[in-house]
A and B are shown apart, each in its own frame.
Chain A
Amino acid sequence: MDKRLERILPRVQKPARYVGGEYRQVVKDKAEVDVRFAFCFPDTYEIGMSNLGVRILYGMMNEMPGVWCERVFAPWPDMEEEMRRADIPLYALESGDAVGAFDMIGFSLGYEMAFTNVLNMLDLAHIPLHAAERTELTPIVLAGGTACYNPEPLADFIDLFSLGDGEDVTAELIALYRKGKAEGWSKGQFLRAAAELDGVYVPSLYDVTYHDDGTVAAITPRDGVRPTVTKRIVQDMDRAYFPVKTIVPSTEIVNDRVTLELFRGCIRGCRFCQAGYVYRPVRNRSKDLLVRYGIESLQDSGYQEMTLSSLSTSDYPPLNDLCDGLMDYCEEKKIHLSLPSLRADNFSMELQQRLARGRKVGLTFAPEAGSQRLRDVINKNLTEDDLLQSCRIAFEGGWNAVKLYFMLGLPTETDEDIVDIAKIAAHVVHTWREYAQDKRRGVTVTVSTSWFVPKPHTAFQWEAQITKEEYERRVQLLRDSIRTKSVSYKWHDSDTSFLEAVLSRGDRRLGRVLETAWRKGAKMDAWQDYYRLETWQDAFSACGLDPAFYANRVRTKDEVLPWSVISSGVSTAFLWRERERAYQGVTTPDCRGQCSGCGANRLVEGGKCDV
């Protein structure tokens, strides 16, 4: 270990995050490696190591002969300060080598609030920030992940974006890079060739012009590249790589357990949900394979907890059989199975009870909106009866804590809808009074609200976010409306949702704002302790841009959206139709009920979704 590193570690919090060496990390012989890939996660180790996508791509790349993929995380500011003072550049955990020495540097971007960390990590690695300043083939800086569905704010810094499932395209990019390196290509040659790969967006090959009012006039492809880039999908989940043998951190992380991915995509179609749209269509893994992966992962890792994860776990058709298949092993080894993102229905509740075996962990439901009218607007297929019935089963089974999640600021929301949130919570308490087995311990119902952020590639991509003042008024209204003693209310009171709304639908001009904000000290924006709205406001005024233009403005149907160069496979016409149905309060059936012709079927070989 680097002596300089050894000296700073005793002074930083949780040093185990910075030394690697965990069980199942991959170390290769450099003499047998010709492509070194630095897989960067622009947040802490604990969050990055909790990400299944990181584990999948890490495992998959390291199975490729000649390729060595290593992990890099954003150091916590105490560590960053020590590293800068000791002049230690950002390094990869496996080899300890500086990131600047790698061939490819890939960022996993799950959320916009990590954008400044990308700049900070490049800087810590002593790599020039701007793609245009990096003139050589090596290193190539790329990014993938859900936040790349609008890559424009990062267009100045990233050489290429990979859209959609990364498994296949990452392998293709590595092969192309290897060819380019062997044949002595220039960076330009490589990028031009990469732009031919499906799912690859090279921002420098597109010119963006603007109208006087600041909206985009045109996005023009150069050099004959395709006008829109469509995301990639894994066709067959049973043939997709699953990281059975994966790193087990030696220090506690956020999701410190086996994560079993049941399926990708979601059949639902909640109109606010970006994941629901961009991961379409749904693709299931077969049950028997999952039972095998689950047990093997538990054996290999030694974890005593496993979560069955997906966007909406109850929608996995053979969920009961899957649980049956895992139960004996888990019971014998005292392994706890957990099911996040369950729907509020009888089936899910019974399953939950079976799995809990006496442990009463908190129950969480997400009605998202207080009234049936507004739930129809957002296409959240959940009635108050479903919710209360689920609560009844839970209370009869001995549960005494329920969390309810809502959003404030959804399109068409009225004060009545907000007051209805308080009513639902009161009805839950009432249900408890009527059905709880044991009332001695009382009940806690927690209502949480977040500030709705309209996201690109959703039916609400044209909407305005409500202003901060309006959000605060609605929070106050809800506070005043909650009069039941057992109900507590938590609201998201930071301004992060505002910045998220700005960045998620921003254009290329935000690159300057990002850089300015970062130079003024913005980083770790996803962390309350570090996020400073004033820094961002200063950066916006320094760049002559108005954040409200991005967050609080309604877009018209014919406006060229900055992310229209990217396609998730779901057509814009479908999203607009969904928006219109939202305003009419008309729901749309889920994919299993009836195909609504969103367009994602064209991504599937054979052209038909296997829902």
Chain B
Amino acid sequence: MSKLRLLFEKDGPARYISHLDLMRTFQRLFLRGGMFIKHSKGFHPHPVMSIVLPLPVGQSSCCELLDFETEQELDCAVLPALLNEGCPEGLRVLEAYEAARPVRELAYVAAEAVLDYDGGVPGGAGARLTELFARPVLIVQKKTKHKDLADVDIIPLIREISFEERADEIAARLVVSAQNPGLNPILIGAAIEKELPAYRPDFISVRRTALLDAAGGVFR
């Protein structure tokens, strides 16, 4: 029996598949590919698998990880192609390999957030936004597990942030804390809306670009 890890991409319509539904989708992907992965015991056996760092619904990513265990020998070289035959649009397995590194070594997430400004980017936006995220403290409201709102200072959770002005958008590149606690990059929108309402974007789309360890190396 071995512990394996899949590296996969989530984009297009698959962005809207929720965490729970994604787990179900993967269960079926394995069965479609004729593979039977390790199940739990009991009256309601279910496949044992976990997604390393669930992606918020609506965001895209090229660096998602899923861990699972098998009872049969699987050839990691052919696994992605086999699974991809059964994938919904936007979901694509890139690689399969032995899950060597423990999840606790995952420290940061790199992401790109695109801020849309339908009426064109307001003058000086790049500079103002850079100033905003250079503040020592920046409080936003965040939904807690109990669905109420709590104040959180997001500055300690942001390791790097930079802004690039384009025609009708600003691209923000961030490196944020992954876990305990992590930061959803979309929350920079809440900070802008609260502190710089004149620079509020019309829409923000987020793409996760890399998972990193504490030293800033790629976690896989």
Contact = CB atoms under 8 A, between A and B. Distances in A.
A21 B89 contact: yes
24 contacts: A9-B16, A10-B57, A14-B18, A15-B16, A15-B57, A16-B13, A16-B21, A19-B13, A21-B14, A21-B89, A21-B90, A23-B86, A23-B87, A250-B17, A250-B25, A252-B20, A252-B21, A298-B31, A299-B32, A301-B28, A302-B31, A303-B28, A304-B31, A358-B43
Contacts of B16: 9, 15-16, 18-19
Interface in A294-333: 298-304, 333
B28 A1 contact: no
Interface in A242-300: 248, 250-252, 298-300
B209 interface: no
A251 B17 contact: yes
Interface in B4-43: 12-14, 16-18, 20-21, 24-25, 27-32, 34, 36, 39, 43
A148 to B, nearest CB: 32
Nearest to A20: B13
A15 B58 contact: yes
B17 A10 contact: no
Interface string A558-591: 0000000000000000000000000000000000
B81 to A, nearest CB: 16
Q: Which of the listed residues A10, A22, A333 has the most CB atoms from chain B within 10 Å of its own CB?
A: A10
A19 B89 CA distance: 10
B205 interface: yes
Interface of A: 1, 6-7, 9-10, 14-16, 18-23, 25, 248, 250-252, 298-304, 333-334, 358-359
Contact of A6 (B25, B88, B205): B205
A334 B32 contact: no
Contacts of A21: 12-14, 88-90
Contacts of B18: 14, 16, 251
B14 A250 contact: yes
Given A9-B16, A9-B58, A251-B17, 4 more contacts: A15-B58, A21-B12, A23-B87, A301-B28
B101 interface: no
B24 A252 contact: yes
A359 B42 CA distance: 10
A302 B28 contact: yes
B45 interface: yes
Contact of B17 (A6, A9, A16): A16
B146 interface: no
B39 A334 contact: yes
Contacts of A333: 31, 36
Contacts of B87: 23
Q: Which of the listed residues B28, B44, B202, B205 has the most CB atoms from chain A within 10 Å of its own CB?
A: B28
A248 B86 CA distance: 10
A358 B89 CA distance: 38
Nearest to B21: A251
A301 B27 CA distance: 11
A10 B15 CA distance: 11
B27 A359 contact: no
